């Protein structure tokens, strides 16, 4: 990945919030994957990364053990404590709200109060380049190990694409 376009000393801070249904599988995995990519690129000071769920069923819990295990095998620490999306504060606190599927997209957009907030909500699939068959990042919660691996494949692909796009936007403003 070409990250040379991103100035490590620039004052721009990218604030990204990943969203899934319960904040125990996909969004905490995306949080961990993106954080590792940013750290490995030496850009940690340029990013604030978090995740949240639409529902409150798992607030305060660690991610699903299967996602933690599959992530660990790939070198990720998927250990985010689940929280629920809060429209009152999260639209203000984050620049980009990246959702995992179309239902997440619709739910978060229903909570938005302005065109500016609607523009902040972006589908993860828009950054996936290596999996043309994918139409979303499917929820692996009711699946098997292969479903967690596939979700991670898509998340890695999407996070690479998102980071690349942000790096490109440094030299071409408004390109995200």
Q: Does 40 participate in catalysis according to the annotation?
A: no
26, 68, 83, 123: the catalytic one is 26
In angstroms, the Cα distances linking 86 to 56, 65, 111, 150 are: 11, 25, 9, 28
> In the numeric block, which tokens belong to residue 165?
């796009």
> In the numeric block, which tokens belong to residue 20?
């899934």
Q: What is the torsional sign of CA 124, 31, 77, 48?
A: positive
Task: Please tell me the distance from the alpha carbon of residue 9 to that of residue 43, in angstroms, as a whole number.
Answer: 9
Q: Does 20 participate in catalysis according to the annotation?
A: yes
50, 64, 139, 157: the catalytic one is 139
Task: Please tell me the distance from the alpha carbon of residue 163 to that of residue 22, in angstroms, as a whole number.
Answer: 24
Active site members:
20, 26, 139
């Amino acid at each position: 990945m070409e990250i040379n376009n991103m100035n490590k000393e620039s004052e721009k801070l990218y604030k990204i919030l990943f969203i899934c249904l319960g904040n125990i599988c996909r969004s905490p995995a995306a949080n961990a994957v993106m954080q590792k990519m940013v750290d490995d690129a030496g850009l940690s000071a340029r990013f604030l990364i978090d995740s949240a769920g639409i529902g409150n069923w798992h607030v305060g819990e660690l991610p699903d053990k299967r996602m933690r295990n599959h992530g660990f095998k790939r070198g990720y620490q998927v250990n985010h404590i689940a929280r629920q999306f809060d429209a009152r504060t999260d639209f203000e606190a984050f620049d980009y709200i990246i959702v995992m599927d179309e239902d997440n997209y619709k739910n978060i957009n229903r909570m938005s109060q302005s065109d500016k907030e609607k523009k902040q909500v972006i589908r993860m699939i828009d950054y996936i380049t290596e999996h043309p068959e994918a139409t979303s990042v499917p929820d692996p919660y009711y699946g098997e190990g292969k479903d967690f691996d596939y979700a991670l494949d898509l998340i890695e692909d999407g996070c690479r694409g998102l980071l690349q796009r942000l790096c490109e936007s440094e030299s071409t403003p408004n390109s995200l």
